[in-house]
Amino acid sequence: MKILLINGVNLDMLGVREPDIYGAKTLEKINSDLLQEAKKLNVDIEFVQSNIEGEIVDYIHSGRLYDGIILNAGAYTHYSIAIRDAISSISTPCVEVHLSNVHKREEFRHTSVISAVCVGVIAGFGEKSYSLALHALADKK
Ligand code: DQA
């Protein structure tokens, strides 16, 4: 099983950015911990990150070649119809992930334009949100 983990806008700043909300770990460390976990599950996982909406769209299209996508689109979650259309243009299951519980935060974060085209949503468990998504996809095979 092959999974693509896509992190979107501003997630390259993890560890530096609002650690009280997003935690103190860098994206590099989160990814390397997840790689170890994926190995235990016998799952191949690849990691990409971009701050550019169109690049994220291209990564989602490349998700056609994978068995599952884990996507934290960052702020694009709340308004990018382009990212939503990219997810619905492929048949690979995509899990929407957020480190923070977006529903406990500002009202503009309560809207997701991508949830309806994702197989599921995981939010609020910090870096563990990624691991929960990995397990959810691994169990689906
Ligand atoms: C986020 C939540 C978004 O509202 C925010 O814009 C992010 C990170 C999260 O992981 O909690 O950049 O997706």
Gap between the Cα atoms of 18 and 10, Å rounded: 11
- Give me the pLDDT at residue 140, please: 74
Positions of the chain with pLDDT lower than 50, given as ranges: none
CA 99 / ligand 1 centre spacing (Å):
7
Q: How far is CA 33 from CA 29, 38, 116, 123, 130, in A?
A: 6, 9, 29, 19, 10
Q: Which atom of ligand 1 is nearest to the CA of 9?
A: 12
Q: What is the mean pLDDT of the chain?
A: 97
Q: Which residue's C-alpha comes closest to atom 13 of ligand 1?
A: 74
The residue written with tokens 């092959």 in the block is 2
Going by the DSSP 8-state scheme, the letter that residue 103 receives in this structure is G
Q: Where does the chain show beta strands of DSSP type E? A: 2-7, 44-49, 68-72, 94-98, 120-123
Q: Which two tokens stand for residue 26?
A: 């860098």
CA 6 / ligand 1 centre spacing (Å):
13
Helices 81-88 and 53-62 pack at an angle, to 10 degrees, of 10
Q: Are strands 94-98 and 120-123 parallel, antiparallel or unpaired?
A: parallel
Gap between the Cα atoms of 47 and 31, Å rounded: 7
Cβ neighbour number for residue 101 with a 10 Å cutoff: 14
Length of the chain: 141
User: Cα torsion for 85, 8, 115, 37, to the nearest 10°?
Assistant: 120
